[in-house]
Structures are given as C-alpha cells and as structure tokens.
A and B are shown apart, each in its own frame.
Chain A
Amino acid sequence: MDKNWDVIIIGGGPAGLAAAVYCGRALRKTLVLEKKVFGGQIVFADIIENYPGFAEPIVPADLMEQMSKQCERYGVVLENDEVQALRMEGESWLVDVYQNTYTAKAILYAAGSMHRFLGVPGEQELLGRGVSVCATCDAPFFLERKVAVLGGGDTALSEALHLAKYAAEVTLIHRRDKFRAEKILQDRVFKNGKIKVIWDSEVLAFKGGQRLEALEIRNKKSGVAEAVAFDGAFMAIGTIPNTELLKNIVTLDENGYVVTDISLRTEANGLFVAGEVIRGNRRQVAISVGMGVQAALGCEEYLAALD
C-alpha cells in the first residue's frame, strides 16, 4: 500500500468517516485508520432515532456501512490498523502502524472514546462473566434474569429499554436524583413496568465467583450499603477519550480531552481533531458528523495554503 498521503484520519467512527467524505471530495489522498471495526461507539446501540433525515429509526450498522461506502466512492482508503505512534518530522507527520510507517501532510484525529469503568473490586474480574459494556450484544444471555444498568444518560436508558425486552427485571442504578438522558427515553423508562430505578446510589463492588452474583450498592444520602443480587450488570457511566497518542503533542485537560475551539485546530501544525476526543462533546452521532466536516474543511484550508 502507498506510504505517502495528504491526510491520514485516525479513527473510523462517525467523525472520522464524515471528515473522510469531505477530504475525498477535496481530491486529497486520504487514508482512514481504524483499530477495531468501522463505526465507533455507536455500534453498541440498537437503534438511532435522532439522526436528522431519517423518519424511521435506523440501525447503526446500516448507517456506518453507508458512510463507509460513501467514503470509498470518493477514493478514500479505509484500513484496519492500529497507530502505535504519531510524530512530526520536518514538514510531514509520521504515523507508525503495526508493520509500517506512513507520512501525511495533515492529520485528522478522531479516535473517539472507550467505555469508562468504575475501578472498583470485582469489576474487571467479572467482565464478560455478567459484567458487560454492550446490552445489544449480551442481552440474549440474560433471558428472564435480573440485570442492573449503571448510569443515567442516553446510553444507560437505551440499554435498560433494550434489556427489558429480554430480562425479567431491569434496575437502573444512578448516582444522582434525576437522569440527564433525553426526556423521551425517560418517559419510556418510567412507563416500562419491568424497569425500576435506584437513585442517589453508587456501586462499591461487583461480587461473584465464576459469574456475577451481586452488587454492593451504597445510598449516597443515607450512607447505607447493601448487597443486591443481580445476574448481569451493564456499564453505561460514560466514556474516556482515546487521546494517549496525543499526550506529548497537544495539551490535554485533566480528563484527557483535547481543548479546542470551533476551528477544531490544535496547537500542532496540521493536526485537526473531531468527535469524542474533544472536551465538551455531548456524544451524539450528529455532533460527531458535524465536527468531522468542520475539521475536514479546516484541514483543506491548511493543505490549500501548502499547495
């Protein structure tokens, strides 16, 4: 494969692929590198109902397949590989992947985010043995069982609604006294007879041997902790940005996010960012797509000045 590119986009989620369409149409030689599967975090959702332009709910995989095809239509190369290091040498960016090094005039960094964990006892040990990060993947294993969903945002409530189609009982455990999820999702949750909510509470430990048996839950107001039996626990407490590669290149905030403005440029020459690596991103497909487009247009301006 060719080693020299105009733009290398790191991350093949909605932000990266939207950017790629614009880079491709600007006739820039564009490579998108994705370390897992093309689609990003949205592949964990069962349906998308709030992406403008679609009257009927859409299946995330369908949307991402269309976005991938749209990229390829404009000559963009989509490649599965993991970036090991990123650095600037002279006028070029060097991107080390497993067995290769590519050069690019500009980098568009849209590596997205990964699931956040609580970091409490038993959580990692029981991951895949009752503790899960994907309700659409694992719901069938909890048919007529008792499951918990940790979190209070869009992801948590969507996962609870999906799980309620399979499980006997779904309990949302949230650390605050109200949800921040879309009101329409809250309405569906409150009307669903299978879903109940434990407010103002945090999980202190995941208990079990071969598989998850109980969660130790503490009420933050009363301070009382108790073990409650669950067969499954789904983590939906947010994400952390994949910005490890940017550490020595741009300034990150205390949570690892890139701080930028509407231009989506960074302090490093020719390095643009988009999507969930940016501080203040509200984790919507439409926002990531918009950011991808914005960053790609900025990138094109930068490349045009080099021509």
Chain B
Amino acid sequence: MSEIISVNDGNFESFIQGDRMVIVDFWAPTCMPCRLMEPGLEKIAASHPENVRVLKVNVNENPKTSSRYFVRTLPTLLFIKDGQVRTQIVGAVNPVQIEKTLSEVS
C-alpha cells in the first residue's frame, strides 16, 4: 500500500521525475481545509500504488518549492508528470474530484 510522502525543498526534485503521475499537496498546519483533505489523499495514494505518487509540502518550511510553482493559496494540488505540471486544483476537494482530474490528465 502506498502512502503520502512528506518532501522538502532539498529532495523535492528527485521525487517528481519519471513518468509516474505525481500529486503534490501544498499545505500548512494552520490550514483546516488542508487537514480535512488528507484522508482523501491517503485514499488516492492507497488506490493507485503503481502509477500515482502523492507528495506533501509544508509551505511554511519549504518556501522555495512553493514559490517555484507560484503557490499563493492553500490548499493547492499540482499534478506533475515527467517533471512538468499538467494541471492544478486550488481549494479544498474530495477524492472523487481528484480521481476525476487524474483520469483527465493521465
């Protein structure tokens, strides 16, 4: 079973390369919608162990990564493949909406 991987400014790059779809969850401890989205993201990670990798970036501790992608509002989800951003979702969403976006960009 696949889990959400917590990444930082230092190791972020190494996790987004390759042809596997990567979902990056930008969050902060004070962001309540972010927290309520987490069970849904765990579900996504668990149901796509082979082809989707779910990462989380704490924006308070990793300003480099959040400013690189112009993240200025939380929660923000980026969908990255081969190192390129395919799409993003801004605002709280549930696993059904994430699955829908995944099928659109995969």
Contacts and interface: CB of A to CB of B under 8 A. Distances in A.
Contacts of B1: none
A141 B72 CA distance: 6
Contacts of A132: 73
A259 to B, nearest CB: 30
A98 interface: yes
B60 interface: yes
A78 B106 CA distance: 28
Nearest to A132: B73
Nearest to A136: B30
A210 to B, nearest CB: 8
Nearest to A166: B30
A81 interface: yes
Contacts of A45: 32
A138 B37 CA distance: 16
B78 interface: no
B32 A46 contact: yes
B72 A137 contact: no
Contacts of A80: 40, 94-97
Given A39-B36, A60-B32, A137 B73 contact: yes
A82 B59 CA distance: 30
B34 interface: yes
B4 interface: no
Interface in B82-106: 90-97
Nearest to B31: A137
A61 interface: yes
B28 interface: yes
B60 A140 contact: yes
Interface string A72-106: 00000000111000000000000000100000000
Contact of A46 (B30, B60, B66): B30
Contacts of A302: none
Contacts of A134: 31, 33, 73-74
Interface stretch (A30-38, A146-154, A176-184, A276-284): A30-38
Given A129-B72, A138-B73, A138-B74, A36 B32 contact: no
Nearest to A165: B30
Nearest to B71: A141
A46 B34 CA distance: 12
Interface in B17-71: 28, 30-37, 40, 59-60, 66, 70
Contacts of A162: 30
Contacts of B60: 140
B66 to A, nearest CB: 8
Interface string A120-133: 00000001111010
A194 interface: no
A37 B72 contact: no
B72 A59 contact: no
A137 B37 CA distance: 13
A34 B30 CA distance: 23
Given A61-B32, A137-B33, A140-B28, A43 B92 contact: yes
Given A64-B36, A141-B59, 8 more contacts: A39-B36, A44-B33, A61-B32, A81-B96, A137-B30, A140-B28, A140-B59, A140-B74
Interface of B: 28, 30-37, 40, 59-60, 66, 70, 72-75, 90-97
10 A-B pairs closest in CB distance: A80-B94, A137-B74, A37-B36, A128-B73, A137-B31, A43-B32, A61-B35, A37-B92, A61-B32, A80-B96
